[in-house]
Amino acid sequence: MNEPVLERLPDGVAVVGGDLRIEYLNAAAEALSGWPRAEAIGRPYHEVLALRDAAGFPLHERGELVPRLRTVRVSPERELLLRRRDGEERWVAVRAAFDRDETRHVRAVLVTIRDIGRRRRLDHARSDLIATVSHEIRSPLTSVKGFTSTLLRKWERFNDEQKRHMLTMINHDADRVTRLLTDLLDVSRLEAGRLELKRQEVDIAQIAAHVADRLGHASDGRPIEARFPESFPKITADPAKVEQVIVNLVENAIKYAEGSIVVSGEASGDEVLVHVADGGPGIDPRHLPHIFTKFYRHGQGERGSGTGLGLYITKGIVEAHRGRIEVARGDEGGTTFTIVLPRGE
Ligand code: ADP
């Protein structure tokens, strides 16, 4: 065995003898298990590599390090919990190869142990996401299903106004599912780093004026104003994405805030700043650190028909442009979101 090479391997390697005692540990296995090899060698392997499965069964009690089938040469990878010498537990991926004699008795077991804490955390985050998404999709669908079947069963018993009300709810909830799925597609593109930016020269002042005009019609008469200096520079960016960012911020101001909404621009060196300011009530300072988090919502109340993905996506788009987004509470209680974008070449 070429031990100097094994010593430099980032994964843990242990050699267990036919008597199931430790014969060798490389440096990574010492670090993972917390056992110095001087103390580990000669001990029953399960004292040093105290492995159990997710259900809590210790590997050695089932004799599973060495499979019963004598033809097995390599075991498939298993994700197991390793209890370190200091009592701390770590998720590890374990594989074993068996060195057998002529009668197929195990002479030695070569075990590799890799720390998979990060992978397990990612898997966890992924299943959390799936649970949240399923829940978010199920509630509007339940309402669509409920109203539809009620209408189908008792069509004659409702008057036109009641029917119109139910159809409006169905329409609204179907839109909600569509919006959620569109947002999720954006999220998955962002997280996979596959958000395509079609960069070109962008006139943010013009985009902001257009957004203010378009959303002004949907803001119940609340004024939306775009204020950009004459000399505001053009930047290199994806115009559709920049528009999406401004629309998200203005729509939030329409939904969650009061008073007039101002979109303004400011040039500063090789960056431009775009502020979206509203007239409050503002975001509780306790919530401020979390509002860019996926699915984070609070105080949705009456107006809330969001998914909690808007600001997460907004931040992702801005960062894909190598920019950043900040939020501040105004002196009079309003909220100002500021995006900072590089002017680009
Ligand atoms: P959504 O609008 O889908 O709920 P967002 O990610 O866009 O999700 O926003 C997250 C939360 O931040 C909202 O639920 C809301 O509580 C809060 N928020 C966002 N913008 C404002 C604003 N301008 N004023 C007050 N609260 C806001």
User: Is the minimum distance from the CB of 277 to ligand 1 under 6 angstroms?
Assistant: no
Q: Which of 177, 194, 211 is the last residue of a domain?
A: 194
Q: Whose CA is nearest to atom 7 of ligand 1?
A: 310
Q: What is the pLDDT of residue 163?
A: 96
The answer to whether residues 223 and 311 belong to one domain is: yes
pLDDT digits (tens, 9 = 90+) for 118-164: 888 888 877 877 887 888 889 889 999 999 999 999 999 999 999 99
Q: 2: pLDDT confidence band, cut at 50, 70 and 90?
A: low
Task: Supply the CATH number for residue 148's domain.
Answer: 1.10.287.130
The overall pTM is greater than 0.85? no
Whether residues 200 and 343 fall in one domain: yes
Q: Based on the domain organization, do 319 and 301 belong to the same domain?
A: yes
In the chain, the number of structural domains is 3
Last residue of a domain, which of 98, 115, 132?
115
Q: Is 28 exposed, middle or buried (0-12, 13-18, 19+ CB in 10 A)?
A: buried
Q: How many Å separate Cα 153 from the centre of its chain? A: 42
> Does the Cβ of 249 fall within 6 Å of ligand 1?
no
Kindly report the CATH number assigned to the domain that includes residue 244: 3.30.565.10
Looking at this protein, which amino acid is placed at residue 215?
L
CATH at 21: 3.30.450.20
By residue range, what is the domain housing residue 170?
117-194
In this structure, are 176 and 200 located in the same domain? no
- How many other C-beta atoms are found inside a 10 Å radius of the C-beta of residue 168? 11
| Domain-terminating residue out of 91, 115, 139 | 115
**pLDDT, position 1:** 56
**Residue 279 near ligand 1, beta carbon < 6 Å:** no
Q: Are 48 and 22 in contact (CB under 8 A)?
A: yes
Regarding whether 128 and 68 lie in a shared domain, the answer is no
Could you tell me if the CB of 337 is within 6 A of ligand 1? Answer: no
Range 2-8 average pLDDT: 83
Please tell me the predicted confidence (pLDDT) of residue 320: 93
Q: For 212-216, what is the mean pLDDT?
A: 92
Q: Are residues 199 and 345 located together in one domain of the fold?
A: yes
pLDDT score recorded for residue 108: 94
Of 36, 30, 26, nearest in space to 5 by CA: 26
